[in-house]
Each structure stands twice: as structure tokens, then as C-alpha cells.
Amino acid sequence: MAMIVRCPNPEDTEALGASLGRHAMPGTVVALSGDLGAGKTVFARGVGAGLGVTTRVQSPSYIIVQSHEGGRLPFAHADLYRLGDADELEQLGLDDVLDAGGMVLIEWAERFPEVLPTDHVVCVIREVADGRAVELSATGPSAQQLLEKL
Ligand SMILES: Nc1ncnc2c1ncn2[C@@H]1O[C@H](COP(=O)(O)OP(=O)(O)OP(=O)(O)O)[C@@H](O)[C@H]1O
Ligand SMILES: [Mg+2]
């Protein structure tokens, strides 16, 4: 199942992310793609809000992974745009967050598809004439179950 949601304004993209954050389960992984400025970080901010994290969600580019606390689940927000190679990824601790029952959201995940678990949510944000079109799909049963709740 793939669903496409029209998001004319940043608030709509954020609200869609918030819905995902409210329904995310321990171990949820979301691969976010879209051009520079598509709205991936806006979506991630919504996820953080939906989880109820107390720290600010912003572009984590320079530090690659930003961990957020205080929410319903631990939340790691990664941006692989500047990551050199997949070996560096192992040091980022994403697996630790998942082992701790958290959720992980990865911007530019398509640069390192090998790091993704088989079962994850794919979110592609495209610029369209009136804002953005956000396409959500699942690669396995847990992700599918999550999308059905949105
Ligand atoms: N419908 C929309 N949904 C999301 N963002 C929108 C929308 N319309 C306009 N924008 C604007 O587009 C920009 C998206 O920026 P954002 O940092 O989220 O992009 P990004 O995909 O994370 O980019 P990068 O690849 O550089 O990390 C914001 O300035 C936001 O206000
Ligand atoms: Mg971003």
C-alpha cells in the first residue's frame, strides 16, 4: 500500500509527521527522501511533536544524528547527506536507539540503503504545483501496520 498526501503548506507536512509520531512503535524506522528543501526536516519536526519530545528538531546535518528525549519513545533523527561511508554509520548509535525501543528517522537514507532494516516506512516528499505531495509506503508488516493507523 502506498498513500499520497497533499500538503499545500509546511503545517500540513508537519501535521502528517505528527500523526506518524503519535502512532510510531518501538523499532519504527522511517527513510525520508526528497530534494534539498523538499520538507524532510519539516516532516521530522512533526514526528518529534507527535512523540512529544522536549528538544528542538532541526537539521542535524553537521552532527549527522540528533537524539531527542522526553517523548513517548526515544527518537533519533539522522541526516546522511554529508556522511562519508557506511562504516561511519555504525558509530552513530542508531541500532542502540532501536534496541532501546526507540524510533529512527533518516533523511537521505537512499544514500545508504544497506543500513535500513527490511521492514521500514518509506516517505518521499515531492514538490508539486501547490506545495508538496508526500508518499508513504511500507516495506514490511510492521511498517504496513503503522501506515494503516494514519
Ligand atoms: N508544503 C510544504 N511542506 C514542507 N515544507 C514546505 C512546504 N511549503 C514550503 N515549505 C518550505 O520548504 C522548506 C523545507 O525545508 P526542510 O529543511 O524541511 O527541507 P529538507 O528536505 O529537510 O532539506 P535538506 O535536504 O536540505 O535537509 C521550509 O523552508 C518550508 O517552510
Ligand atoms: Mg533536512
Q: Which atom of ligand 1 is nearest to the CA of 8?
A: 1
Q: Minimum-distance ligand to the CA of 38?
A: 1
pTM of the complete model? 0.96
Q: Which residue has the cell 557506511?
A: 86
Query: What are the pLDDT digits (tens) for 86-140?
Result: 788 878 889 999 999 999 999 999 998 888 999 999 999 999 999 999 999 999 9
CA distance 133 to 32: 13
The CATH number of 2-149, from 3.40.367.20, 3.40.50.300, 3.30.200.20, 3.30.70.20, is 3.40.50.300
> According to the model, what pLDDT value does residue 91 have?
80
Q: Minimum-distance ligand to the CA of 8?
A: 1
CA distance 132 to 107: 16
Residues of the chain with pLDDT > 90, as a percent, come to 78
Under 8 Å between Cβ of 111 and 80: yes
Residue 132 alpha carbon to ligand 2 centre in Å: 15
